[in-house]
């Protein structure tokens, strides 16, 4: 927890700010009043600095936690694959096999084409998003508090509360949909879908508008649904932490607050486990459905 966050508003803003790294121009006045003599790549120490870094900046915490959780997924599943046994499976092997069977049944039920990429993609999406979402179950002040003690101004631990992460994943899915739409139907077939449906050749402008909106809505809805649900869940945990501080009369960041946080967060965390899993499942399922639509040829 940052020492600067004294009020409830500052506390909320602090926990919703990403750790941003980017370039500030020469002559820029920093948060501490210092003026930069040259263009400088640095960590933002205020929301305004993060904003002024512009498009070239990137969120270190989102990238870091996403990468670590992705590597955790690879390490876990690769370890089980190397030690797989036909005898009595270990608990970890049994759990991994259950996830793979669940993903396989989901793909078989929603994807009617033939593509060896779809099942591995669905598995990666589900497990990776679940792990990123599950970071929301870590008590809200623990990791940011440790980061503050190490001198970091901000740290958001849930990558899916950052729209950059959710849009990054959804746009990747969107490009795959475009690729397979053209590959399976040809350029003419894909353009024909956009211009000739649903009203035929005489309704071309209306067809293009409706189909274009429908196409663009896919990545937008994927990204915003995941981001919105996880962001709202994070906000509730922050508000619970503030309630704990108010009820105990403790200062923000104290050991008493940590204890009250756990008790107040328990009920919401139990319910939030469902949201964490459901959002990963919805993103995976919609990806499968969109790819299935890309493989279908309309006549």
Burial of residue 194 (CB within 10 Å: 0-12, 13-18, 19+) is middle
Among residues 90, 105, 214, 221, which one is catalytic? Answer: 221
Give yes or no: 229 in active site. yes
Q: Is 94 a catalytic residue?
A: no
Helix (H, G, I), strand (E, B) or coil at 210: helix
Supply the DSSP string of 112-136, one letter for each residue: -S--TTHHHHHHHHHHHHHHHHHGG
**Tokens at 291, concatenated:** 């790819």
The DSSP bridge pattern shows strands 20-24 and 58-59 to be antiparallel
Q: Distance between CA 135 and CA 140 in Å, rounded?
A: 10
Catalytic residue among 225, 251, 260, 265: 225
Contact of 111 with 118, CB cutoff 8 Å: yes
Helix locations, 36-162, DSSP H: 47-52, 60-82, 91-110, 118-134, 142-149
Other residues' Cβ atoms within 10 Å of the Cβ of residue 268: 16
The Cα–Cα gap between 53 and 218 comes to 30
Let me know if 18 is a catalytic residue.
Answer: no
Catalytic one of 229, 251, 254, 265: 229
CA-CA distances (angstroms) from residue 13 to 3, 59, 131, 151?
13, 16, 24, 18
Q: Mind telling me the catalytic residues? A: 221, 225, 229
């Amino acid at each position: 927890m940052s020492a600067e966050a004294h009020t409830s508003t500052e506390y909320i803003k602090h926990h919703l700010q990403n750790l941003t790294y980017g370039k500030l121009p020469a002559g820029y006045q920093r948060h501490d009043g210092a003026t930069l003599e040259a263009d400088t790549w640095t960590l933002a120490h205020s929301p305004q600095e993060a904003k002024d870094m512009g498009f070239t900046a990137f969120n270190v915490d989102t990238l870091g936690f996403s990468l670590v959780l992705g590597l955790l997924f690879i390490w876990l599943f690769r370890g089980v694959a190397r030690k797989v046994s036909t005898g009595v499976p270990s608990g970890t092997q049994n759990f991994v096999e259950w996830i793979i069977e669940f993903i396989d049944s989901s793909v078989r039920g929603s994807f009617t084409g033939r593509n060896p990429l779809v099942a591995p993609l669905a598995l990666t999406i589900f497990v990776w998003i679940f792990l990123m979402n599950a970071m929301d179950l870590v008590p809200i002040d623990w990791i940011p508090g440790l980061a503050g003690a190490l001198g970091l101004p901000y740290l958001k631990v849930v990558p899916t509360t950052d729209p950059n992460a959710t849009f990054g994943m959804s746009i990747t899915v969107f490009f795959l949909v475009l690729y397979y739409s053209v590959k399976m139907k040809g350029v003419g077939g894909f353009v024909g879908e956009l211009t000739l449906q649903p009203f035929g050749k005489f309704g071309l402008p209306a067809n293009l508008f409706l189909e274009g909106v429908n196409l663009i809505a896919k990545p937008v809805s994927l990204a915003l649904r995941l981001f919105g649900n996880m962001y709202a869940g994070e906000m509730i945990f922050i508000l619970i932490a503030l309630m704990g501080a108010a009820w105990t009369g403790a200062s923000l960041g104290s050991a008493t607050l940590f204890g009250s946080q756990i008790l107040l967060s328990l009920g919401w965390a139990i319910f939030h486990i469902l949201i964490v899993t459901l959002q990963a499942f919805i993103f995976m399922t919609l990806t499968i459905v969109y790819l299935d639509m890309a493989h279908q040829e309309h006549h």
